[in-house]
Chains A and B, each alone.
Chain A
Amino acid sequence: MAANTVLNYLPRKSMVHELTGTTKLAFFLLFTFASMITYDTRVLIGLMVISFAAFRVSHIKLREVRFMLVFMLVFLILNDVFIYLFNPEQGVEIYGTRHVIATLFWRYTITWEQLFYTFNISLKYFVALPIAILFISATNPSEFAASLNKIGVSYRVGYSVSIALRYIPDIQRDYHSISQAQQARGVELGKKEKLLARMKNSVNILLPLILSSLARIDTISNAMELRGFGKKSKRTWYVQRPFSRNDYLVLAFGVLILVLSLVITFWDGNRFYNPFV
């Protein structure tokens, strides 16, 4: 019964949902590439506006993806903190000037350059993640395999991913019932038990879970072969949709974004926008 997965498809009527999976995947890759390469603040802010706008258009609500957002913020904070701990002068090295705000202790000083660098790093998260979340929650899982295949990934690989997604809820259910049966035999697994005992005893769930999953794999692979999976080097897809005008527009837009951000970023021969000189 516990079939809620962390990342799932949220069907909606929106422009983003109506794009084909292939478009979404390609746009996601182009956009991510653009945001990974640049540290130019102007470009990043521009990309963030696009990213937020796309999220808005998709009609997906923030609370529906709350888990991912919290996860991302925690990661972001960890990232910023560790950059500072390992190299508090990173910003100074990059921007070539040093404006100290305060000195904490030993080598840890706070500089405008470091703050600006941290700001840029955080900005990158806010640029890339809404698009990533959007790609996952606005792409029909059925279309996922098809779109991977379309951009050149073997359909066998694409289908494995899709089958894995399909079986996650089943395996969760298995896990749940195996755990209950183990508890009924006195194995400490319940929420009220001690953490250490629970960890140790969860080994008891593994063997039955692995065995029953292997049995599942055997059945599914037989069923797939009996229906001709892997016969040809290509296959067609039931759910694949033809490209519409919007798909071409979005793809063109994606390429434009990448080119523009590369041009603006490298115009002055530096990946960083430097407000300090």
Chain B
Amino acid sequence: MNTPIISFRDFTFQYRAQARPTLYNINLDIYPGEKILIAGPSGSGKSTLASCVNGLIPFSYPGESTGQLFVDGMEAKKESIFQLSKSVGTVLQDPDGQFIGLTVAEDIAFALENDCVPQAEMHTATKRAAALVDVENHLGYAPHELSGGQKQRVSLAGVMVDDVKILLFDEPLANLDPAAGKQTIELIDRIQKETDTTVLIIEHRLEDVLWRSVDRIVLMDEGRIAADLRPDELLSGDLLTRTGIREPLYLTALKYAGVDVTPEKKPAHPETLVLDEKDQELVRSWFHSVQAPPPPAAQAPLLEVRGLNFGYTKDRTTLRDISFSIRKGEMVSIVGRNGAGKSTLSKLICGFETPDSGSVFLDGRDISDDNIRTRARRIGYVMQNPNQMISKTMIFDEVALGLVQSGLKPDEVRARVEDTLKICGLYPFRNWPVSALSFGQKKRVTIASVLALGPEIIILDEPTAGQDFRHYTEIMEFLRDLNAQGVTVLMITHDMHLMLEYTPRALVFSSGSLIADKSAAEVLCDSDLVERAALKETSLFTLATRCGIEPPEQFVQRFIDYDREVREHGC
């Protein structure tokens, strides 16, 4: 515990292409066997910090550094990325992109192959690493036969074959469904205990990582270390909120209720948090004092799906007998594990695929015979990755694309594009190239390009994937505004916070069937449903149960309503 395994000394780093440093005077010691969470908003330098440790900087991303960085006794900038990779194993964010081999076994063995390890030894080491992460029965599988969580396990095994001393996880939760994310955190915890490695987790989803204990949280903000504290200490203060990291919801609830959160209360886990009788009473009386807002007036149904069945191949059904109805002006989330049929449903609604039986109604009219383009005038579809949608280099042209295709006159196109850009807050950028925008802004451009066609419904696939709290709020508030202006919004999401906070109603899918259609708060308080659809219970549910509040979903709903009030009026 005496010599640090990673040590930053007055370390400053500047990318070659940037005008200012990304990291300033970092001083940080990490000791062998520690488990550290590095949190911070996008652009805070947390990923840069990680790239310095694993050698991607300066190997792949050149730049200038001053000060010193020691990793496992080596001075990082004097060593090659290969030398560092013997000590530091990195699991990248994208489980698909980092899958190198054609099968699980080859992917795990990749590092050994590069090291010229003899084949017999390689086979034993691969099996051992696979067993460590429970993929030993899938050695012959190809990547497309695995779930996201399994792919991530394979990546982890691929770095564990090398007996690395440090494991680095770059946003391990970004591409997983909530249940798989939870399992990943459990797995990391187990591996660390079994192998006694040092673990660094880069994540902005604090509450999800804290499902298992970490030793310290390093909070990054604008290239500097804003805090380096034990979780209990950090969570008791207001540093998180100030740097734009979302604090766990149960803590926000406790603060609203007037409970004084101190390190002695051990606030890092909702289950083990110390709540005395007085605290519980405070929570209960807060719950009773908050009034539920009146339910909105029910509108006429806009989109109806009746008895939809579909399979990509004859012998495999992807969707089974799906029926539901969406009212005008609703905001609904569609949730469930990967492969449950959520994306397929949106493809059927948009007409990308044709159902085997059943039909889709819009305003009471069967639109089964309408083609993609006809449907697109009323139903907009926004893909998850904006880079897959944007096909023009200038923002104006991108938003105008659909209108130009519809044969509108140039001045009409201009007027409508400008209107749309104003609604989306992109008007000042109208003559900018798309490449100058951030990811979140690009997302906005893709939403604008769909809105320009004037749809009544938009369907968004994972609108906030990979976004930090600030960008998440930005995108979601924008969608909420659109919704208030009368656009009906459907969202496919893995984000339980999004579902709770922004969509009063949720459709839950599990292996091709619609298994629940009720309020988001009710869904997340139903343990059975949570289990079947690979969701994650909200910590508010835990808090409500611990304070003896019945029914817990009402507590959750009150919290969401109250929190919205607070954030809107800032009281």
B525 at the interface (CB under 8 A from A): no
A170 at the interface (CB under 8 A from B): yes
Q: What's the minimum C-beta distance from B551 to chain A, rounded to whole angstroms? A: 41
CB < 8 Å: which of A141, A142, A187 contacts B405? A187
Of A49-57, A81-89, A112-120, A200-208, the segment with at least 4 beta carbons within 8 Å of chain B is A200-208
- The interface size of chain A toward B, counting residues with CB under 8 Å, comes to 55
The answer to whether A186 touches B106, judged by C-beta atoms less than 8 angstroms apart, is no
Q: Which of B61-109 touch A at CB < 8 Å?
A: 80-82, 85-86, 90, 92, 94, 96-98, 100-103, 105-106, 109
Chain B residue nearest to A219 (CB atoms) is B97
The answer to whether A240 touches B405, judged by C-beta atoms less than 8 angstroms apart, is no
CB < 8 Å: which of B60, B106, B143, B389 contacts A222? B60
CB neighbours (8 Å) of B122 from chain A are 236, 238
CB < 8 Å: which of B100, B102, B375, B391 contacts A224? B100
B383 at the interface (CB under 8 A from A): yes
The answer to whether B81 touches A186, judged by C-beta atoms less than 8 angstroms apart, is no
CB neighbours (8 Å) of A174 from chain B are 388
CA distance A218 to B385 in the complex (A): 16
Given A186-B405, A219-B98, A228-B82: A238 in contact with B106 (beta carbons within 8 A): yes
The answer to whether A238 touches B92, judged by C-beta atoms less than 8 angstroms apart, is no
CA distance A56 to B453 in the complex (A): 58
CB neighbours (8 Å) of B388 from chain A are 174, 177-178, 181, 208, 212
A229 at the interface (CB under 8 A from B): yes
Q: What's the minimum C-beta distance from A109 to chain B, rounded to whole angstroms? A: 55
The answer to whether B376 touches A186, judged by C-beta atoms less than 8 angstroms apart, is yes
The answer to whether A228 touches B371, judged by C-beta atoms less than 8 angstroms apart, is no
Q: Which of A199-243 touch B at CB < 8 Å?
A: 203-208, 211-212, 215-216, 219-232, 234-240
The answer to whether B100 touches A163, judged by C-beta atoms less than 8 angstroms apart, is yes
CA distance A220 to B92 in the complex (A): 10
Given A228-B114, A231-B115: A238 in contact with B405 (beta carbons within 8 A): no
The answer to whether B56 touches A226, judged by C-beta atoms less than 8 angstroms apart, is yes
The answer to whether A181 touches B381, judged by C-beta atoms less than 8 angstroms apart, is yes
A14 at the interface (CB under 8 A from B): no
The answer to whether A185 touches B92, judged by C-beta atoms less than 8 angstroms apart, is no
Chain A residue nearest to B109 (CB atoms) is A238
CA distance A234 to B350 in the complex (A): 51
The answer to whether B81 touches A236, judged by C-beta atoms less than 8 angstroms apart, is no
The answer to whether A185 touches B102, judged by C-beta atoms less than 8 angstroms apart, is no
A166 at the interface (CB under 8 A from B): yes
CB < 8 Å: which of A206, A208, A240 contacts B390? A208
The answer to whether A180 touches B372, judged by C-beta atoms less than 8 angstroms apart, is yes
CB neighbours (8 Å) of A196 from chain B are none
CA distance A145 to B532 in the complex (A): 42
Q: What's the minimum C-beta distance from B155 to chain A, rounded to whole angstroms? A: 8
Q: Which of B312-340 touch A at CB < 8 Å?
A: 312
Q: What's the minimum C-beta distance from B275 to chain A, rounded to whole angstroms? A: 44
Of the four ranges (under 10, 10 to 19, 20 to 34, 35 or more), the interface on chain B belongs to 35 or more
CB neighbours (8 Å) of B111 from chain A are 227-228
CB neighbours (8 Å) of B403 from chain A are 186
Given A219-B94, A236-B122: A227 in contact with B401 (beta carbons within 8 A): no
CB < 8 Å: which of A222, A225, A236 contacts B113? A236
B502 at the interface (CB under 8 A from A): no
Q: What's the minimum C-beta distance from B555 to chain A, rounded to whole angstroms? A: 40
Q: Which of A28-84 touch B at CB < 8 Å?
A: none
CB neighbours (8 Å) of B449 from chain A are 185
B450 at the interface (CB under 8 A from A): yes
A162 at the interface (CB under 8 A from B): yes
Q: What's the minimum C-beta distance from B458 to chain A, rounded to whole angstroms? A: 11
Given A223-B92, A223-B97, A235-B113: A184 in contact with B391 (beta carbons within 8 A): no
Contact with A along B20-44 (1 / 0, CB 8 A): 0000000000000000000000000
Q: Contact residues of B with A, CB < 8 Å?
A: 54-56, 59-60, 80-82, 85-86, 90, 92, 94, 96-98, 100-103, 105-106, 109-119, 122-123, 126, 143-144, 158-159, 312, 347, 350, 352, 371-373, 375-377, 380-381, 383, 385, 387-393, 401-403, 405-406, 449-450, 453
22 A-B contacts (beta carbon < 8 Å):
A180-B347, A181-B381, A184-B381, A185-B449, A188-B373, A188-B405, A204-B401, A211-B390, A212-B388, A220-B97, A220-B100, A222-B60, A223-B98, A225-B56, A225-B59, A225-B60, A226-B56, A227-B100, A227-B158, A227-B159, A231-B82, A236-B113
Given A186-B405, A235-B114, A236-B119, 20 new contacts (CB under 8 A): A142-B102, A142-B106, A163-B100, A178-B388, A180-B350, A181-B383, A181-B388, A186-B377, A187-B401, A190-B371, A190-B372, A212-B387, A215-B97, A216-B97, A220-B100, A225-B85, A226-B55, A232-B115, A235-B115, A238-B112
Q: Contact residues of A with B, CB < 8 Å?
A: 1, 3, 141-142, 162-163, 165-166, 169-170, 174, 177-178, 180-188, 190, 192, 203-208, 211-212, 215-216, 219-232, 234-240
